[in-house]
Amino acid sequence: MNTPSPVRRRRPRLKPVLLGFGGVALVATLITVGATGADFTDRGQFNYLVTMGASTSSPTSTPTSTPTAPPGSGNGVPTQNFSNVHSLARAGGTLYGWAGAQTSGVGGYSDSLLPVRVPAGTTFTEIALGPKHNLAIDQNGDIWGWGYGQTGALGPYADQPTPVKVVSTATKYRKVAAGGYINLGTGQNQTGTSYAIDTNGNLWSWGAWNGGAQTKFHVLGDSTGANRSTPKQVTTGIDFVDVSVGWEKNMAVARDGSVYAWGSNHMAGLALSDTYSTSEVVTPTRSPFLAGIVKVAMGGRTAYALDRDGYVWVWGSKSGTQSNSTLGIGTTNPGNDKLCKWSNASEQTTAIAAVCKPLRVGRASGQAALTDISAGESHFYALDSNGAVWAWGGNRFGNTGVGTTSNGTTVQDTLSPTKVDFSVRITAVAAEYFGGVAVDVNGGVWAWGRTNMNSINLLGDGRSSWPSNAQTTPKKVK
């Protein structure tokens, strides 16, 4: 009797998607990986959301549903509440959440160390994480959401612990992004804003109209000075392919390679003028300086664009509370005309450049054309066509992955693009608030940077204690 040959499955192509960054709230990174064995049974999408400061609110009711653990995940033992840190994964269209229960979508108010199934009963093709709410698109092109909803980002002005259908109309959608604001220290003063691109490339928005509870910058893309709970189309005649969420500012990339920006310009982050201006921009406005762009990544006070030739462009401002090197231009000297605005730790302006145009970052020795980019709060990664990762920026927790923290004796903040040492070719890289994650050609997952926050594992390596709060070089975690 012949024994049948084992079935071989083709490993899915790996692709990272940077979902958005709020300068005081989050960076959410979406990494597509091949899941195997007792983990996720199909291609999974892992998200790392890190926000600063635990919520001080307490639950007013007990969980109404019992989360179901996926095969091989154990019993989903719940732990303490820390709902500003949560993660999601998609396996074959099914979502799983862990860490912050109120925002991970698993229902109830107890956090979980292990993945538990998000009880939606539908198939999702796209997910987007925000600081306090999340969005997903199902196979029919309808939008679902869960988490913090009191500013209208989820439709009704109410929180949703499990996914609810936010948008179900004749209009169908292909891309979503979730933004908002949350106070670093208290977890309060929070807002949520949602964005979507429909199948015709039109941009829609709903939720909080202002960038934060303490600001009055229009971020919905129109002049509306009030929150709204239903999507409104804010552009016509432009075929958008992506939208990137920043802190009080946003950008969208059109199919022709042009870039549109709107929101606050007080950090010179909109790339709309060659002179410094604090005027806000209410509606999406085309940048006169950016063309041939394929992707935009929003950092804390800086923004980055990748062009079709594989070069990175960067612009914005530098604060005294920020890294000296978020631009990758090899300098920390205020007023050198390479950076539009310099400020001290009290946010007082110390220098304004004569020219505020985006700068092209030079290609490092040995660096091939860049194929993808990802921005954290004060650090940045780029992937080249040879599978090498290049990093620069702040290095407080080993953010750049180049060897030590900014307090070390060998490597301080990284001023210029520096190669991150991997023993294998990398196919995907993405930044989170204090570090990064990457996927190699064999489907392995690597992580580095800050190891934990309030005893919650940020690396995903299964540890409950750490000798250091910084993983300074990439560590394989899967």
Residue-wise pLDDT tens digits, 191-237: 889 999 999 999 999 998 886 545 567 889 998 889 999 999 999 89
pTM: 0.74
pLDDT of residue 96: 46
**Cα 281 from chain centroid?**
23
Nearest 5°: CA angle at 180, between 29 and 305?
A: 50
Q: Identify which of 38-42, 277-281, 301-305 has the greatest average pLDDT.
A: 301-305
User: Greater confidence, 312 or 432?
Assistant: 312
pLDDT of residue 207: 92
pLDDT(186) > 60: no
Q: How far apart are CA 261 and CA 258, in angstroms?
A: 10
Token pair listed for 335: 């007023």
% pLDDT > 90, the chain: 22
Tens-digit pLDDT profile for residues 225-256: 899 999 999 998 999 998 988 777 899 999 99
Could you tell me the residue ranges of all domains in the chain? 87-476
Sheet with 86-91: strands ordered across = 16-22, 26-33, 44-49, 86-91, 94-99, 111-117, 78-79
Task: Identify the CATH number of the domain defined by range 87-476.
Answer: 2.130.10.30
pLDDT of residue 357: 80
pLDDT of residue 431: 81
Per the CB < 8 A criterion, the answer to whether 342 and 321 are in contact is: no
pLDDT of residue 108: 42
Q: Which amino acid is at 277?
A: S
Listed in sequence order, the DSSP H helices in 141-186 are: none
pLDDT(9) > 90: no
Tens-digit pLDDT profile for residues 440-460: 898 787 888 876 554 444 555
Q: Identify which of 108-122, 381-395, 451-465 has the greatest average pLDDT.
A: 381-395
292, 193, 278, 201 alpha-carbon torsion, rounded to 10°: 30
pLDDT category at 409 given cuts 50, 70, 90 is very low
Q: How far apart are CA 447 and CA 322, in angstroms?
A: 23
Nearest 5°: CA angle at 50, between 317 and 348?
A: 25
pLDDT(113) > 80: no
In sign, the C-alpha dihedral spanning 166, 167, 172, 173 is negative
Nearest 5°: CA angle at 159, between 154 and 164?
A: 50
Element (H, E) at 101: helix 101-104
CA dist 176 to 124, 143, 193, Å? 12, 8, 11
% pLDDT > 70, the chain: 57
Q: Which amino acid is at 99?
A: A
CA dist 36 to 11, 12, 362, Å? 10, 11, 39
Strands 312-318 and 191-198: unpaired
pLDDT of residue 131: 74
Tens-digit pLDDT profile for residues 69-108: 333 222 222 222 223 344 444 444 444 443 334 433 334 4
Tens-digit pLDDT profile for residues 356-386: 788 888 888 999 999 999 888 778 899 999 9
Half-sphere exposure of 31 (CA within 13 A, CB side): 29
List CB contacts of 60: < 8 A, sequence separation 6 or more: none
